[in-house]
Amino acid sequence: MSGIDFQKFGLVGAGLVGGSIAARLARALPDTVLLVHDASPGNAAYVAERHPRSERVGTIAPLAGCDAIFVATPVATIAEQVVTLLQLPNSDALIIDTGSAKQAIVAAVATSGADAGRFVPGHPLAGGISAGPGRASGDIVTARPFVLTPTESTGAEALAHAKILLERLGAEVVEMTPDAHDRLLALGSHLPHLIAYALAGLGTDEPGDLLPASYRGIAAFAGSDAQMWSDIFRANSAELKAAMEEFKKRLDLIAAMADEPVPGVLLETLTDAKARIDALENEE
Amino acid sequence: MSGIDFQKFGLVGAGLVGGSIAARLARALPDTVLLVHDASPGNAAYVAERHPRSERVGTIAPLAGCDAIFVATPVATIAEQVVTLLQLPNSDALIIDTGSAKQAIVAAVATSGADAGRFVPGHPLAGGISAGPGRASGDIVTARPFVLTPTESTGAEALAHAKILLERLGAEVVEMTPDAHDRLLALGSHLPHLIAYALAGLGTDEPGDLLPASYRGIAAFAGSDAQMWSDIFRANSAELKAAMEEFKKRLDLIAAMADEPVPGVLLETLTDAKARIDALENEE
C-alpha cells in the first residue's frame, strides 16, 4: 500500500458512477491526477473533461502506478477488472469497486486466486435510476452512504485507507457484510425495480391516458437502463428471488384480508404499513 | 328527470372528491345552489365554505328537490346512499356517484329493487392518493377523465344529462362497462397500492437511511389513507386478486430469466418494458 498521501488515481468505467467520482475528486482533491479508462472513448473523454488533471488511457496497464483505483464498470464485468488490476505487476494500488451486488463480485475475485488484500468492495447507495455519464454528479458519492463490504481477504490497512479516502471525498462510509448488503439492496432496490418492470409489462392493453398516477409512478422505475438492470438482476438473483418470495407472500396475505368477513384485520395491516412509511419519511 | 337546466345540486359525502366537486360547481356554475350532507359536520362545513351558495343539511331528505346529486362517500357506503336517494318520495334528481369500484355498487343497487334509471355510476380518475377535504381541488374533476359506467338499468336520458353536466363542469367524460372500469382500476390503481402496502411491510428491519430511492418511491403510496384503501380493496377484491395473480406470474417470469445461461432474454424483456414506459411518458 502506498499510504494515505493519495496523489494519483485510476478510474475504470466512465459511466454514471465513474463520472461522479471524477467530479468529486476534482472538487475535493483538486491537485491529484486521474487516469481514466473506458471501453467507450466517448464516455472516457466526457469524464476526463470533468477533472482538470485527468488523462484518458487506452489500456488498463498504466493504472499500475496509481495510489488508488475505482472500478465502476457494469456490475457483470467488475470482478474481471478487479482481478486484472490485482495482477498488474509492480502495483500496490488500493482498489475500490462500486458494484451494486457484492457477493458475486467477492466470490469471483476469491475464485481467481489473486491476492485480494488491496481490494475493498464498495457501493455508493445513490447510484441511481439512470445510467450513463450525462447524469453524473458529485452527489452520487455524497448524497447517500457509501457502503463498504470487506471480506476475510480484505487487508485491514486497505480498509482503513479506503475509509480515509472516501471521507476526504465527503462520503459517509457504512460497513456491512456482502451478504447483508445484497439482502438490503435486493429488498430496497432490486425488488422495487423488478416490480416496476413486471407492472410495466401488464398495462399496455389499457389506454395510456386512463392509467392512474400510482401505476405510472411505480412503473416509471422501469424507465431505467435495461442493460444495467439485466446485469444487476443476474448478479444478485438469489437474494432478489428470496426478497420476491417474501413480497409475494405479503401480497397474498393482504389480498386474503380483503375477503375476510370483518374489515378490521385489513384496516389494521394497512394502518401499520402507513405508520412505517410515515416514520421513514419523517426520518429524512 | 328535471332536464338540463341544472339549478339545485346535492352532495352526499364531503371528502376529497366531494370537496372538489363543490369547488368545481362554484366555479363553472356559480349561480346554482348546493346542499351538502356529510356525517362529519366539520367536513360538510369545510366544503360548504368553498361554494358561495351552498347550505349544509343534517339529513338526506332535503336533497329530494335537487336536479342532480353527487354521492361521494367512502366506497363501502355509496350503494346504500344511492338506494336511499332513489327511494326519496317526489324526487326526479339525477344521481351520479364517484366510487372507485363500480361492480359492487351497481350490483348492490340492483339487488335493492330500487328503480335505478336515474342513477349514473361514475368515477373521476384523479381521485388521488390522499383522502380528506383539505386536499380537495377542482382539479380532481378535470385533471383526468371522469369515467361513467352505465348499466342496463341506467336511463338513456339520465346518461345523456350526466354527460352534459360533467362537461359543463369541465370534465372529459369516458364511458366503459363497470367490469372494464374495475379491471382498469385494479391494474392501474388498486394493485399499485397493494404493492406499496406489501413493500412497506417488509422493510422495517433495515436502517431507514440505507433504503434506496426506488423502495421509498414505491412504498410511499402506502402513505395514503388506510381506511379508504381498506374499503377499496374489499369492494374490488375479485378484480384486484386477478390483477395480482397476473402480476405475480410476471414477477416469476422475469426472475426466472435472471438465471438463464444467456442474458439476452432478460435484457429483451426489460428493454420492452422500458419502451412501454417511455411511450406512456411521451403521451403526456
Ramachandran bin of B128, using left for φ above 0, alpha for ψ from -120 to 50, beta for the remaining angles: left
- State the cell numbers at A255: 389480498
- CA–CA dist B210, A184 (Å, integer): 8
- CA–CA dist B50, B69 (Å, integer): 17
Q: Kindly give the parts of chain A with pLDDT less than 50.
A: 131
Q: Residues 6 to 45 of B: which have CB under 8 A from any A CB?
A: none
Q: So what's the pLDDT on residue A281?
A: 79
- CA–CA dist B31, A178 (Å, integer): 68
Contact flag B269-A197 (C-beta cutoff 8 Å): yes
Contact flag A219-B280 (C-beta cutoff 8 Å): yes
Establish whether this prediction's ipTM goes over 0.90.
no
Q: Residues 70 to 89 of A: which have CB under 8 A from any B CB?
A: 76
Q: So what's the pLDDT on residue B177?
A: 97
Please tell me the distance in Å from A69's CA to the nearest CA on chain B. Answer: 25
Place of cell 490497512: A157
E strand or H helix that includes residue A136: none
Cβ-based contacts of A259 with chain B (< 8 Å): 234, 237
Contact flag B269-A196 (C-beta cutoff 8 Å): no
Query: Residue range B31-40: average pLDDT?
Result: 93
Q: So what's the pLDDT on residue B101?
A: 94
Reduced 3-state DSSP string for chain B: CCCCCCCEEEEECCCHHHHHHHHHHHHHCCCCEEEEECCCHHHHHHHHHCCCCEEECCCCHHHHHCCEEEECCCHHHHHHHHHHHHCCCCCCCEEEECCCCHHHHHHHHHHHCCCCCCEECEEECCCCCCCCHHHCCCHHHHCCCEEECCCCCCCHHHHHHHHHHHHHCCCCEEECCHHHHHHHHHHHHHHHHHHHHHHHCCHHHCCHHHCCHHHHHHHHHHHCCHHHHHHHHHHCHHHHHHHHHHHHHHHHHHHHHCCCCCCHHHHHHHHHHHHHHHHHHHHC
**What single DSSP character describes residue A187?**
I
Cβ-based contacts of A147 with chain B (< 8 Å): 210
- CA–CA dist A8, A66 (Å, integer): 5
Cβ-based contacts of A208 with chain B (< 8 Å): 279-280, 283
φ and ψ at B148, to 5 degrees?
A: -115, 135
Place of cell 416490480: A195
Q: Evaluate if residue B130 carries a pLDDT over 90.
A: no
Contact flag B218-A220 (C-beta cutoff 8 Å): no
Residue B37: which residues within 8 A CB-CB, separation 6 or more?
Answer: B10, B11, B12, B13, B14, B44, B56, B57, B58, B59, B60, B63
Q: Evaluate if residue B284 carries a pLDDT over 70.
A: no
- State the cell numbers at B211: 433504503
- CA–CA dist A31, A25 (Å, integer): 9
First-to-last C-alpha distance (Å) of chain A: 38
| CB-based burial, A129-138: b 16+ in 10 Å, e otherwise | bebebeebbb
Contact flag A233-B216 (C-beta cutoff 8 Å): no
Q: So what's the pLDDT on residue B127?
A: 73
Q: Evaluate if residue B263 carries a pLDDT over 90.
A: no
Q: Are A9 and A48 in contact (CB under 8 A)?
A: no
- Taking CA atoms, what residue in A is nearest to B271? A226
Contact flag A266-B230 (C-beta cutoff 8 Å): yes
Cβ-based contacts of B209 with chain A (< 8 Å): 144-145, 283
Cβ-based contacts of B271 with chain A (< 8 Å): 226
Return the sign of the alpha-carbon dihedral for residues B57, B60, B66, B70: positive
Q: Are B154 and B119 in contact (CB under 8 A)?
A: yes
Q: So what's the pLDDT on residue A131?
A: 47
Residue A227: which residues within 8 A CB-CB, separation 6 or more?
Answer: A74, A131, B267
Q: Residues 174 to 193 of B: which have CB under 8 A from any A CB?
A: 174, 184-185, 187-189, 191-193
Please tell me the distance in Å from B224's CA to the nearest CA on chain A. Answer: 7
E strand or H helix that includes residue A123: strand A122-124
Q: So what's the pLDDT on residue B99?
A: 95
pTM attached to this predicted model: 0.89
Closest among A182, A143, A141, A145 to A9, alpha carbons compared: A141
Q: pLDDT tens digit string along B173-223?
A: 999 999 999 999 999 999 999 999 999 988 766 777 788 888 989 999 999
Question: From residue B173, how far is each of A30, B94, B160, B161, B242 by CA, in Å?
Answer: 60, 16, 11, 12, 27
Contact flag A267-B188 (C-beta cutoff 8 Å): no
Q: pLDDT tens digit string along B58-108?
A: 999 999 999 999 999 999 999 999 999 999 999 999 999 999 999 999 999
Q: So what's the pLDDT on residue A16?
A: 83
Nearest to A273 among B76, B144, B200 (CB): B200
A130 touches chain B (CB under 8 A): no
Q: Are B100 and B193 in contact (CB under 8 A)?
A: no
Closest among B206, B240, B199 to B220, alpha carbons compared: B199
Q: Evaluate if residue B6 carries a pLDDT over 60.
A: yes
Return the sign of the alpha-carbon dihedral for residues B147, B153, B154, B156: positive
Contact flag A233-B210 (C-beta cutoff 8 Å): no
Q: How far is CA A55 from the centre of its chain?
A: 25
Instruction: Name the pLDDT band for B273 (thresholds 50, 70, 90).
Output: very high
Longest dimension (CA), chain B: 73
Query: Residue range B214-233: average pLDDT?
Result: 92
Residue B152: which residues within 8 A CB-CB, separation 6 or more?
Answer: none
Q: So what's the pLDDT on residue B1?
A: 55
Q: So what's the pLDDT on residue B134?
A: 54
Please tell me the distance in Å from A179's CA to the nearest CA on chain B. Answer: 14
Closest among A99, A128, A130 to A225, alpha carbons compared: A130
**What single DSSP character describes residue A61?**
G
B39: how many CB neighbours lie within 10 A of its CB?
12
